Structure 1
Amino acid sequence: MVFRIVSELPGRLRLRCGARLFTDEEARGVSYALMAADGVRTAEVHAANGSILLTFEPACREAVLAAVRGLDPLRLPAAPDPGLGTREGALEISLENNRFQVEVTRLVLWRAAKRVLLPVPVRAALTCVRALGFVAEGLRHLLAGEVTVEVLDATAIATSIARGSFAEAGTITFLLQLSGLMEEHVQSRAHLALREGMVVRAESVWAVVDGQDVRVRTEDVTRSMVLHLGAGSVLPVDGTVVEGAGEIDESSMTGEAALVRKEPGATVYAGTALESGDLKVSVTAPPGASRIDGIVDMVEHSSELKAGAQSRAERLADAIVPYSFLAFFGILAVTRNINKAMAVLMVDYSCAIKLSTPIAVMSAMDEAVRAGVTVRGGKYLEALAAADTVVFDKTGTLTNATPAVSRIVSFTEASEEDVLRLAACIEEHFPHSMARAIVAEAERRGLVHDDELHAEVQYVVAHGISTRVGGREVCIGSAHFLFEDEGVGKPEGLDELMEREAPASSVIYIARERRLVGAICVSDPPRPEAAAVLARLRRQGLSNLVMITGDSERCAAHVAGELGLDGYFAQVLPEDKAAHVAALREAGHTVVMVGDGINDSPALATADVSVAMSDASDIARAVADVLVHDSSLESLVTMRELASRLMGRIHADYRFIVGFNSLLIGLGVASAIPITTAAYLHNVSTLCIAARNATPLLDRPHLERGRAA
């Protein structure tokens, strides 16, 4: 590959290889190939101008240049649209930025060239040709009985042409095209951001190989492979149930909250959540080809997911249009002056209102992704700005995302290792931070637990697991689950014993054949940033910070006191978590729920806004409205600030649009300024508002904190 170095900084190179050397697919392929080279951090390849932007370890400069020289221009690697993936998504956004810049440059240069090179009659003819599209769109809405912004734009353009003001019509169409490009660009970036965060997939899954469950990477799943999915899993693929039965939450696909029973022969879809049961599924569409990979457009354009301010802006913009026409005919009747009357057609409120708010909302969603958060709809940003209450799950949310086993107590002749091995062989199949802590401790001690056989698994959300190991019935879970639901005998003085052994730990009990075998104490300290984050949230106007947990009263009181929470609820069942959230909403609060486990999914679905942290269970991330891609609570502060600034920007837009355009209309009717000048200032102001709304709401430190957290 031949290239020249256009610019260079330590650890950063921009190379120019020649315009149109790459297709879009080859640009992606080259980028992937270079990112695989030692020392390369990022590689952006732009097809339009044939440039490559590389960031890398400074010591690897020569190796990086050698990797570029080693590319064969006649056999460049190609890659299709990648779907999901952080680095791939960053490349897609870079390509979209490049496309936007090229389109805007082309539009501006073409307008300048026409004014210099073409005679007036030819420019007028081209203006008429370009106006046909806008007029046709206006007629389409009018014939459908819709008096919308498109009708107003078409009328203004057609009237200008009829009056012989071709330059005026040309300016209007140019500015409309420019604003359209900007809106399309922001929409595309928001679309890419949604595609990055919409589909929840675990890094690995259990596949059935020669009758045994084997963990494989999700990206290695292929058609016809059989996967074994337990309760709490989010399906990574489309498939057909070949064994087992269960109830699936398909709300991510259908919007319906009711659980759907699935038995052999039933079709299941990626992105849906297995609430209960145990399924073996034959893959019909591997990751990247499943049905949910094609629903981002539906989500992006769903009116139910738009911010209320965005929906109101669109309705208001169209509602104003008839009044603009009434004002036009009224002024014409009174003044008998077409130029005065044209002021309300050439200068309107609708265009700016309809364009500015969606761009502001979509730009904020895109900015959220750059801050490490995916927001699944504009309405959730609006709700975040209005919220006054945050309900936190304790384990894995307010407390450490990676709890650790602190103590193992045996109540039989079994050793600590025997108790831990028994617990780990069950818990490795279930998605919860406590389960991960038990499995990690078994691995740390070098305990082997891969050969146990399980059947008739029954997972009771937030309580525990009932299964069979080696042909014997085993239960593992909370005290309530074992001693009340499963009828395990409770030894005398157990509560006092556990209070002495682990006063601030969560306790998981294990029983075999209805006999208590042991207890595992899991240390679950608050996150180091939790207290500071809670204080900052209070300063942002969130006055009611509450913790809700299934843990014991003593654990809940200890954490609540340490963090200074406004209240807490202990020993709460999943259905009761949802009831507590619903009660807060009924009391007039706007509630944000932050959770991480399968037991939090009912409450997450009940809140005005649900937030799942990066290490949350798959099912929590599947039902959440906001997905945090890092492990710090700092992102909650960032998102509250982003949402508040977004609403402030929208309200400021309204004030400016009404004030400035009213001034222009008044000046135009009074003949204080030419109608052409009023129209030009109106369209330029609309474009400036749209451009401003596409700029970041947060300063750089906010974004850097979001990335570093």
Structure 2
Amino acid sequence: MLHTIEHEVPGRVRILLDGSVRPSDVSVLTRALSAEACVEKVVVYPKIGSVAISYSGGAEGRARTLRHVSAIDGQVMERARVECGTEMGARASSLVTDLAVLAGSYLARRWFLPAPIRAVVALLRYLPFLRAALRSLARARLDVPVLDAAAIGVSLLQRDPKTAGQTMFLLDFGERLEEYTRARSECALIYSLLDIPETAQLVRGSEEERVETASLVEGDLIVVRTGMPVCVDGVVEKGCASVNQAALTGEPLAVRRSEGDDVFAGTAVEEGEIFVRVKSGASSTKLRSIVSLVEQSERCKAESYSHMERLADGIVPWNFLLAGLVALSTRSLTKASAALMVDYSCALKLASSIAVLSALTQSAKQGFTVKGSRHFEAMAEADTIVFDKTGTLTEATPEVTRVIAFGDWSRREVLRLSACLEEHFPHPVARAVVRAAEARNLKHREKHSEVEYIVAHGIASSLEGKRVVIGSEHFVVEDEGVLIEEEKRERISRETEGLSPLYLAVDGELVGVIGIEDPIKPNVPTVLRDLRSLGFGRIIMLTGDNEKTAECIARQAGVSEFHANLLPEDKHAFVRALREEGASIVMVGDGVNDSPALSEANVGIAMGEGSAIAREVAGITLVSDDLSSIVALRKLSMALMDRMGGSFAFVMAANSALLAAGIAGALSPQMSSLLHNGTTVAMSMRNAAPYRLP
């Protein structure tokens, strides 16, 4: 099989195959790859032709694994297909077939094989469990594989292959169920993330063209400016920028990238401009970064989830101690076996894991993607929610409703120059100015020099040797020192009341003001009422806009607490101060200027149409800009925490009762195993069910 190593760490290698994998071959390829003894786990990503393989045995295990991959050909695949019993469909639709084959083979052995042959088959099937236990013991770990192997081994020592076979069947059944649920969750997450549109600025000579990222090929040259995503792996050919790599490295601070440096898909430019030469096809690069995100999401576990796993692992040694005490005090191997047949660890881990994966699946279907279960927990426990204004509480498509010109400038000239500057930046207000100019058929030639974007302030450039600035009043008046006569101030205040004013100045003189109407989203008051009823005691709006505009929007939205004229560092400081006071905070935003606050909050939520930086920094991304998704997210998060708490209580109570009954002799080891595994599978199936949200 032709392949290349895409990425590897000790004990795990990800391989890029020579082409995609047909859905019907996913299970067959998984079985073929798993045939090597040192291979512990195989995950196939069919759409991108990628396989993740976990192996044991160090360097020797790695070499054996790679040799095994190279040896797979058509004949090996056909043999694996025969072993499957039937041609399998895609992972997400193969559960019934997989379980039918598993149950059918178990019943066939039990009903049709003579007792001596059944015993030999049981011994052979026990070998993988024994190998897993020996691997754990070699690493000085006393965990569930050791407990499973001991429980099955005791049954075999008692010459009871029937109980041993039943135990192995139920363990295999639970494992298949977990793999199926995990596979469905991964698929849902991947395809939900793929729905997020991406474009790039392709450079051809002296011209730029906006193209679909998927159309880029090796050797293309693209330009990436402030607030834009880096959609490809490439090398900086010209320019300098601060690049946020949080999605890849977890480091919240941007790094400087200049000529000759590598940049990667999944990152975003915080400030500056770079020209990037594409190193590999954009489509496959994007898919690979998404797969990495899905793989890494398992590391972002909720504290309660991690606590359950630690507790589950910690209980295993006590199972062995209890079984030893029972054996010494009762002199009964049967009662000791009953103590080994029941463990808390498997049920706690499996039930919790499937509950989380079910929530991840449902969240993807309902319009938001969550980068790990810890964000569900933070969302469920939060008592304060903070909203950015523009593009979050207000429409993502604001409109220009007023243009004021001063001096010799006409309104058309003010709008034309403003659009010329604003067209370079992906911000809702900038897009509004460009649309207004296009609607009035205002064409322009770029006579100004290279523009400089000052985050959350405005834009600066030069025109025929004169400095041109456009942005907020704070930027133009205080930072740039532009004087505004009282008469002009009164006119601006009168004509832009309730609007967001954008100031345009040339060479220190105010030449125009553009009034932006940013209407509130129609469902905002309802959403905020629902959030209050779900336990958010404080709902706060933050904005860089002026006090009057902020007050108008807050009144329409039903927000009693708001703060205006804020810079990005002010928003970040505000959220940090709230956390220091003991608040548990959800921050919702969409822009470059929101990213510091999003990263500081307990959980950040980015709007789907927001900037790449906001989406990378946030723990949760809304696929659309519908705020009602936040209400669904809060309900789902609370339901997940309730389900995990209920699972914990049920597992502890049920397994304690089974242990007591087994030690007392009221249950045979066979019945203990059946009831333990049966309740584990039943709890897992219950946790795999969709959450019912009121």
Shift of 1:298: 6.3
User: Is it true that 1:681 corresponds to 2:647 in the alignment?
Assistant: no
User: Is it true that 1:626 corresponds to 2:592 in the alignment?
Assistant: no
Q: Is contact 2:243-2:269 (8 Å) kept?
A: yes
SS at match of 2:283: coil
Match of 2:142 among 140, 144, 147: 147
The C-alpha deviation readout for 1:240-285, integer Å capped at 9, x for no partner, is 1111111111121111223211111111111111111111111112
Identify the residue that residue 130 of structure 1 maps to in structure 2: 125
Identify the residue that residue 510 of structure 1 maps to in structure 2: 504
Shift of 1:177: 0.9
Matching residue's letter, 1:533: V
What is the TM-score of this pair, normalised by structure 2? 0.85
Extract unaligned runs of 5+ from structure 2: 1-18, 29-44, 51-88
Identify the residue that residue 430 of structure 2 maps to in structure 1: 435
Identify the residue that residue 374 of structure 1 maps to in structure 2: 369
Shift of 1:412: 2.8
What is the TM-score of this pair, normalised by structure 1? 0.84
Shift of 1:385: 0.7
| Cα distance between partner residues in 2 of 1:342 and 1:406 | 79
The C-alpha deviation readout for 1:82-139, integer Å capped at 9, x for no partner, is 599xxxxxxxxx9332133322222122223323332232222222212211111111
SS at match of 1:467: strand
User: Is it true that 1:528 corresponds to 2:528 in the alignment?
Assistant: no
The C-alpha deviation readout for 1:278-332, integer Å capped at 9, x for no partner, is 1111111232333882473465346651121221121111100111111111122
Identify the residue that residue 184 of structure 1 maps to in structure 2: 179
Cα distance change of structure 1 residues 123 and 298 upon mapping to structure 2, 3 Å threshold? farther
Shift of 1:505: 0.9
Shift of 1:571: 0.5
| Cα distance between partner residues in 2 of 1:431 and 1:221 | 20
| Cα distance between partner residues in 2 of 1:564 and 1:339 | 67
Match of 2:206 among 185, 203, 211: 211
SS at match of 2:539: strand
| Cα distance between partner residues in 1 of 2:149 and 2:462 | 72
Cα distance change of structure 1 residues 299 and 46 upon mapping to structure 2, 3 Å threshold? closer
Q: Is contact 1:544-1:566 (8 Å) kept?
A: no
| Cα distance between partner residues in 1 of 2:324 and 2:357 | 37
Shift of 1:205: 1.9
What are the equivalent positions in structure 2 for 1:227-626 lying under 5 Å apart? Answer: 227-290=222-285, 293-294=288-289, 296-297=291-292, 300-301=295-296, 304-449=299-444, 451-469=445-463, 472-626=466-620
The C-alpha deviation readout for 1:570-609, integer Å capped at 9, x for no partner, is 1011011011111111111111100011111111111111
Matching residue's letter, 1:564: G
Match of 1:160 among 146, 155, 161: 155
Shift of 1:202: 5.1
| Cα distance between partner residues in 1 of 2:290 and 2:461 | 37
SS at match of 2:672: helix
SS at match of 1:288: helix
User: Is it true that 1:635 corresponds to 2:639 in the alignment?
Assistant: no
Q: Percent identity?
A: 41
User: Is it true that 1:666 corresponds to 2:660 in the alignment?
Assistant: yes
Q: Is contact 2:234-2:263 (8 Å) kept?
A: yes
| Cα distance between partner residues in 2 of 1:198 and 1:306 | 20
Cα distance change of structure 1 residues 482 and 286 upon mapping to structure 2, 3 Å threshold? farther
The C-alpha deviation readout for 1:620-676, integer Å capped at 9, x for no partner, is 112211111122110000000000000000000011111111111111112122221
| Cα distance between partner residues in 2 of 1:457 and 1:669 | 78
Cα distance change of structure 1 residues 426 and 101 upon mapping to structure 2, 3 Å threshold? farther
Identify the residue that residue 99 of structure 2 maps to in structure 1: 104
The C-alpha deviation readout for 1:380-402, integer Å capped at 9, x for no partner, is 01111111110000011011221
Q: Is contact 1:299-1:305 (8 Å) kept?
A: no
SS at match of 1:519: strand
Q: Is contact 1:380-1:625 (8 Å) kept?
A: yes
| Cα distance between partner residues in 2 of 1:182 and 1:317 | 19
The C-alpha deviation readout for 1:469-496, integer Å capped at 9, x for no partner, is 4664321110111111122222324443
Give me the CA root mean square deviation: 2.4
Extract unaligned runs of 5+ from structure 1: 1-23, 29-44, 50-78, 85-93, 703-709
Cα distance change of structure 1 residues 238 and 46 upon mapping to structure 2, 3 Å threshold? closer
Matching residue's letter, 1:634: S
Aligned length in residues: 622
| Cα distance between partner residues in 2 of 1:419 and 1:168 | 84
SS at match of 2:573: helix
What are the equivalent positions in structure 2 for 1:84-95 lying under 5 Å apart? Answer: 95=90
SS at match of 2:282: coil
| Cα distance between partner residues in 1 of 2:49 and 2:530 | 36
The C-alpha deviation readout for 1:3-57, integer Å capped at 9, x for no partner, is xxxxxxxxxxxxxxxxxxxxx96967xxxxxxxxxxxxxxxx99999xxxxxxxx
Identify the residue that residue 654 of structure 1 maps to in structure 2: 648
| Cα distance between partner residues in 2 of 1:290 and 1:296 | 10
Cα distance change of structure 1 residues 175 and 590 upon mapping to structure 2, 3 Å threshold? same
| Cα distance between partner residues in 2 of 1:691 and 1:201 | 31
| Cα distance between partner residues in 2 of 1:358 and 1:113 | 32
| Cα distance between partner residues in 2 of 1:571 and 1:500 | 19
User: Is it true that 1:690 corresponds to 2:684 in the alignment?
Assistant: yes
The C-alpha deviation readout for 1:487-535, integer Å capped at 9, x for no partner, is 2222324443222112111111111222212111111121110000011
| Cα distance between partner residues in 1 of 2:417 and 2:523 | 34
Matching residue's letter, 1:141: S
| Cα distance between partner residues in 2 of 1:46 and 1:406 | 58
Q: Is contact 2:501-2:515 (8 Å) kept?
A: yes
SS at match of 2:230: coil
Q: Which moved more, 1:491-500 or 1:534-543?
A: 491-500
Q: Is contact 1:472-1:512 (8 Å) kept?
A: yes
SS at match of 1:219: helix
| Cα distance between partner residues in 1 of 2:200 and 2:282 | 12
Identify the residue that residue 221 of structure 1 maps to in structure 2: 216
Cα distance change of structure 1 residues 277 and 454 upon mapping to structure 2, 3 Å threshold? farther
Q: Is contact 1:467-1:475 (8 Å) kept?
A: yes
Q: Is contact 1:431-1:597 (8 Å) kept?
A: no
**Structure 1 residue runs of 4+, over 4 Å off?**
24-28, 45-49, 197-202, 301-304, 469-472
